[in-house]
Amino acid sequence: MRVGAWTRRRSMWLDIGLAVVAAGECASSAAVFAFRQGLGTAAVAAVAVFGLVAGATLLVRRRWPLIPVAAALATIPLAAGYTLLMIGLYTLGAYRPEGAAGRFAERRAMSALCGLAIAETVIVSTLTLGTQQQNALRQGVPEYVLIILSVLVAVAISVPPAILGLYIGAKRRLWVALHERAQGLETELSLLADQAHERARRARMEERTRIAREMHDVVAHRVSLLVVHASALERVVHKDPDRAAQSARLMGDIGRQALDELRQILGVLRAVEPDEAPTSASQTGAEPRTAGPTGATRAGAPTGNGGGFGREPREPDELGLADLPKLVDESRAAGLGVRYTLGGLRRPLPAQAERTAYRVVQEALTNVLKHAPGTNVEVVIAYVAGGVALAVSNTCPAADLTPAADRGLPSGGNGLVGMRERVHALGGTFAAGPTAEGGYRVEARLLTAS
């Protein structure tokens, strides 16, 4: 609880008590000194009042610790103020003031103040031996002994309080510095924790976005092909059994491919961290499962779950420009007239660039299959300086085309967004929009390090 200039009530009462004791000592000692010097009553009363005022300066010792020391040095010529001097020197060392007064709390300045107090005490004792030490002189005590005793007393009342004050002050400042450092470290740790939380949140969002893109690419393309072949199968099942059987086989292949890619994506979500794999395996008694290079979970042997799950699938990272001919063939089988052109000096590209190029072409063909079935499509891939450029364009669809939603092919509008995010993640450029002839064109340029 703060009371006036004091932080605690106990400190206030302590300073009041010390001020009363010091004021009493200063007033009484100064009055006795003046009386023994043969001064009049008015002078004795004046020095007594001066002693009271000097002792009362201890009330401000915590805020202005230099004032009590100055008051003590002023009362020493009256053979008084020794209690005030001891408390003042201790306070000056323990409570280092701010500003110019703080220089007096340094060791050299404290030594100078102690020397000044000792000198004053010795000089006053030497000059007043005849009046203040009459009894000792009558008993035959030599004057030099009295002077030596005054020196020892002066040292005893000035040096130990100053040393103790400097020690307490250094200890207090060290504690304050450690406390501030601990608070700074706590604040820094809090900021680091907030930053780590924010990074984790962004990482989760980016991972969810990436998984959503992968799921969209797999589901949208494969399911669109399944719907197209199912419609064709429904039309020719009675008229052309051979063609119906071919469509059924294509549907089976497409479904197995979709299941394989879905299993690979879900394997990333179920992948066990390397430091958690031994613990999980020891607790369950099952064979340890580790995350492969692409995050797909693998056991010691392939698992057989039917429906294409028993085969060892290709990793999603392996999808690249080499898989585009197969993708084009699937689109042709679905009724698109696709022309595929590959140009430029062929060279290996980073796996991420290969995969992004494949996904962009896949999504573009899926959109054509949804919104412009039966049109002619041109796929152009060109190796250029610093990367690869690609373009997918289709001709104008028929005017009487049934909307995609009416044909069981709803569109969520995430395809173009996913393509743009993939391309921009590699520092590339992406553009998509209708052509002057009524068709649609998707262009992308991927920048690579190699």
Per-residue pLDDT reduced to its tens digit, 366-377: 888 888 888 899
pLDDT of residue 410: 52
The residue among 224 and 336 whose pLDDT is bigger is 336
CA distance 420 to 3: 67
Which pLDDT belongs to residue 292?
39
Residue 89's pLDDT band (cuts 50, 70, 90): confident
- Flag whether the pTM goes above 0.85: no
Comparing 59 with 260, the larger pLDDT belongs to 59
pLDDT tens across 182-223, in order?
999 999 999 999 999 999 999 888 877 777 777 777 676 777
pLDDT tens for residues 26-79? Answer: 999 889 888 887 888 898 899 999 999 998 998 988 888 888 888 888 888 888
Q: Taking 60 as the threshold, does the pLDDT of residue 105 lie above it?
A: no
At a CB cut-off of 8 Å and minimum separation 6, what does 18 contact? Answer: 58, 61, 87
Q: What percent of the chain has pLDDT over 70?
A: 76
Name which of 92, 103, 91 is nearest 11 in CA terms.
Answer: 91
Q: How confident is the model at residue 383 (pLDDT cuts 50, 70, 90)?
A: very high
Compute the average pLDDT of residues 360-365.
Answer: 90
Q: Which has more confidence, 147 or 450? A: 147
Look at the block and give the residue holding tokens 């401000």.
60
Quick check: 3 pLDDT over 60?
no
442/120 Cα distance (integer angstroms): 98
Residues 82 and 207: their CA atoms lie apart, in Å, by: 77
CA dist., res. 433 & res. 445, Å (int): 15
Quickly list DSSP for 133-189.
Answer: SHHHHHTT--HHHHHHHHHHHHHHHHHHHHHHHHHHHHHHHHHHHHHHHHHHHHHHH
pLDDT at position 393, please?
94
Tens digits of residue pLDDT in 390-412: 999 999 887 766 655 555 555 55
Q: Are 393 and 378 in contact (CB under 8 A)?
A: yes
Q: What is the mean pLDDT of residues 139-161?
A: 80
pLDDT of residue 434: 92
More confident: 4 or 161: 161
The residues, ordered by sequence, that sit 6+ positions from 71 with a Cβ below 8 Å of its Cβ are 53, 54, 55, 57, 81, 84, 88
Q: How confident is the model at residue 310, as a pLDDT?
A: 36
CA 324 – CA 363 distance, rounded (Å): 12
CB 190 within 8 A of CB 145: no
Does residue 205 or residue 272 have the better pLDDT? 205
Do the beta carbons of residue 47 and residue 75 sit within 8 Å?
Answer: no
Q: In this predicted structure, what is the pLDDT of residue 261?
A: 72
Q: Would you place residue 10 in the very low, low, confident or very high pLDDT band (cuts 50, 70, 90)?
A: confident
Q: In which band, very low, low, confident or very high, does the pLDDT at 352 lie, cut at 50, 70 and 90?
A: confident
Burial (CB < 10 A; 0-12, 13-18, 19+), residue 293, is exposed
- State the first-to-last Cα distance of the chain, in angstroms, to the nearest integer: 70
| Distance between CA atoms of residues 115 and 101, nearest Å | 18
Does 298 score more than 70 pLDDT?
no
Mean pLDDT, rounded, for 69-95: 86
Mean pLDDT of 407-422: 70
Two tokens at 114? Answer: 């102690």
pLDDT of residue 390: 94
d(CA 422, CA 223): 22
**d(Cα 94, Cα 105) in Å, to the nearest integer?**
8
Q: What pLDDT, on a 0 to 100 scale, did the predictor assign at position 81?
A: 84
Query: What kind and span of H or E run contains 110?
Result: helix 107-127
Question: Which residue(s) pair with 440 in the sheet?
Answer: 394, 434
The 10 Å Cβ neighbour count of residue 337 is: 13
Question: 377 versus 447: which is more confidently predicted?
Answer: 377
Cα radius of gyration rounded to whole Å, the chain:
47
pLDDT at position 382 is: 93
| Stretch 413-437: mean pLDDT | 86
Q: pLDDT averaged over the chain? A: 77
Q: How far apart are CA 421 and CA 415, in angstroms?
A: 10
